[in-house]
Chains A and B, each alone.
Chain A
Amino acid sequence: DVKVTQSSRYLVKRTGEKVFLECVQDMDHENMFWYRQDPGLGLRLIYFSYDVKMKEKGDIPEGYSVSREKKERFSLILESASTNQTSMYLCASSSEVAGTSYEQYFGPGTRLTVT
């Protein structure tokens, strides 16, 4: 079974803090993704990566950065957390070559609250 893990299930941070969200997958997947999910807005893509050290902006990259130094690990960084970044953050991974192309496997999510 594919396993995607995220460093925290719940996180509370103060405005202005630097926040690191870590994601690790154990299936040697090339692709990794960071989403946020908000009521009424659905899943929105923040950043994704097709390979180590490669990253591409998603639909809402402002206020976020990412790091992928190793294939299995993809980190999301909030340089200076703000209250509008309070959300559920979901990491996902997928294989480059799959029977069903681009099927994504999700981690359990991190519910971040910024006060």
Chain B
Amino acid sequence: RKEVEQDPGPFNVPEGATVAFNCTYSNSASQSFFWYRQDCRKEPKLLMSVYSSGNEDGRFTAQLNRASQYISLLIRDSKLSDSATYLCVVNSRAGNTGKLIFGQGTTLQVKP
């Protein structure tokens, strides 16, 4: 089983749609979780951290479910500029130490 698994997509949605991505992780002791965004031919950039209580940043909401070991990202009112690959990222050891493990990414294509 991969340490971090994501549905690669692509997710093709119209502008204004709401879209959700899920990601599962295998290490139950992991404490740090992130969503990164990667545009075509560009480097990954942090989109948001994922906190136990869930967090929201404008149109983006991240949730963590420790019992089921999954993380979600919800994008409301999709814009053309949201088209990118979204990487789920988890730290590899207990607590906040260790390397980060990146999922393969979920590709989102927002159409006019």
Residues of B contacting A42 with CB < 8 Å?
87, 102-105
Give the bracket for the number of chain A residues in contact with chain B. 20 to 34
Tell me how many residue pairs across A and B have CB atoms closer than 8 Å: 44
Is B45 touching A106 in the complex (CB atoms < 8 A)?
yes
Q: A40-B104, A58-B99 are in contact. Are A102 and B43 (CB under 8 A)?
A: no
A102 lies within 8 A of B32 (CB)? yes
Q: Which residues of B contact A11 (CB under 8 A)?
A: none
Chain B residues within 8 Å of A109, by CB? 42-43
Partner of A103, one of B31, B49, B102: B49
The answer to whether residues A101 and B43 also contact, given A42-B104, A42-B105 and a CB cut-off of 8 A, is no
Chain A 33-45 interface mask (CB, 8 Å, partner B; 1/0): 1010000111101
Given contacts A42-B105, A43-B44, contact A103 B99 (CB under 8 A): no
- A102 and B34 alpha carbons, distance in the complex (Å): 10
B13 an interface residue at 8 Å Cβ cutoff? Answer: no
Contact with A along B84-112 (1 / 0, CB 8 A): 00010001000010111011110000000
- Evaluate contact between A108 and B42: CB separation under 8 angstroms: yes
